[in-house]
Structure 1
């Protein structure tokens, strides 16, 4: 069966075309706050591929999601939209109000929470750095922090007299100039936060997102596992459970 999987985030739209266990095509594009317009340009391509079903993870508001659905209905195939539940496929949500948990975080947790005896720390290094803790099949909640670039942008906007051009985040050593002091300091702060969490909650560290490899090289003592398509795995698991219980 040929499937289309969509991850519609705050800034990017990612899609995967899969058949059985194989990924046939993968794409990621900035949607400039209008994912529906981007999909308008892709829907004919999807139609030519003879898609048989669609799974969607979207952090957009209802108005945007309604427009997205209207476009995708042109493909005339079943559509599954992932949503956060208080309990789903044996996994309990740690939020007091499940609807407040981002669907991307929920699916990433759902992808790993298969062992009732294992603890996981799931970190997504995207627009924000999110940390979610899983004990067995119970989501315990987590943390949301500004990512490397948001913190740097905040310094640029709010610090008079200091110019901070773009540079690589790569080292944790003390900076010997302002540029390095800023970049090393921001990276050190986020790495230290992760270490503090793992100190209090020993667990298997699973990382995903564009900066996962960057953080992982500073967290080798915790044997991080990098999963580039963690959300896809969670979305597929969500869809599989939904279909089996339909």
Structure 2
């Protein structure tokens, strides 16, 4: 399935988002490094203005600083924006290492209550994960058609927005986390690892647990979609392909966090100019 072409607020970045083929169309083009730090991996992307993404890489934990510091050493003045859902200590260490490598402009994004007219549902905006917030910045529409943003990874987040207003959301265990939790918290639910995804009834303990995790996840998303029947459903994350294959009627959408992070960085630099 083709990636969705986002519809942007007129003040925001216009683009097309698929890892490796993101094209940014803006009045001013400049190279910038975007870093998305998840719970278990780190991804980075160099955006080259109108020429699009030069590279996107997903790095294991032990190698996550090597490639980044090499980029910084070559282009120390390139702006860098970081989205981090790990600890504040990790974010500070990453920023410090980039500055030691010579980076002169390092910025860490944080969720804001009201950004360019977009308002979040949380009373305490800082407690809303910055990755969710950035994805919503990228996904918002200029009209009033609802948008449901799903990021299906270790955890599965579901957020609903209408125009420039976040309606709220949900956080569920991802399929793998759900399976592991059942094994960890029970005495007799044990099985060898299995592959594949299905929502059909299982005939073994393994199949019952695995299929049940997918049924719960896909069912939750479909329930939210039934509450907002005219919504556009965007699905990102490691489990996105499986969910769509299981019949969740959404659009596979890659790179929303990067797109939102680029919007945030461009706005930040414009306000400081």
Structure-1-length-normalised TM-score: 0.90
Correspondence for 1:216: 244
| Aligned residues of 2:35 and 2:43 also touching (Cα < 8 A) | yes
Shift of 1:28: 0.9
238, 256, 262: which is aligned to 1:230?
256
Aligned partner of 1:29 among 59, 72, 77: 59
Aligned to 1:72: 98
Q: Distance in 2 between matches of 1:20 and 1:53?
A: 12
C-alpha distance in 1, partners of 2:139/2:73?
33
Quote the offset at 1:2 in angstroms: 2.5
Instruction: Please identify, of 10-19 and 101-110, the stretch whose mean Cα deviation from structure 2 is larger.
Output: 10-19
Which deviates the most, 15-24 or 230-239?
A: 15-24
Deviation at 1:236, TM superposition (A): 0.7
**Contact 2:119 2:166 (C-alpha < 8 Å) held by counterparts:** yes
Q: Deviations over 1:38-92 (max 9, x none)?
A: 32x2344213542511111112333222222111123333222211111001110
Equivalences, count: 239
**Structure 1 residue ranges without an equivalent (≥5):** none
The answer as to whether partners of 1:208 and 1:228 remain within 8 angstroms in 2 is yes
**Cross-structure match for 1:102:** 129
Q: Which structure 2 segments of 5+ residues have no match?
A: 1-29
Verify the 8 A CA contact 2:73 2:103 in the aligned structure 1: no
Aligned match for 1:9, one of 30, 38, 55: 38
Name the structure 1 match of 2:14: none
Deviates further, 62-71 or 195-204: 62-71
Q: Indicate if the aligned counterparts of 1:124 and 1:131 stay in contact, CA closer than 8 A.
A: yes
For the 8 Å contact 1:169–1:184, the answer to whether it is kept is no
- SS of the aligned residue for 1:75 comes to coil
Question: Do 1:84 and 1:106's aligned partners in 2 also have CA atoms closer than 8 Å?
Answer: yes
Matches of 1:169 and 1:115, distance apart in 2? 38
- Are 2:89 and 1:60 aligned? no
Residue pair 1:43, 1:71 contacting (<8 A) in 2 also: no
RCO comparison, higher one (Cα < 8 Å, 6+) = 2
Q: 1:175 to 1:17 in 2, by over 3 A?
A: same
Query: Aligned residue for 1:115?
Result: 142
Deviation at 1:112, TM superposition (A): 0.8
**Where does residue 64 of structure 2 map in the other structure?**
38
Question: Could you tell me whether the CA contact under 8 Å between 1:86 and 1:92 is conserved in 2?
Answer: yes
TM-score by length of 2: 0.82
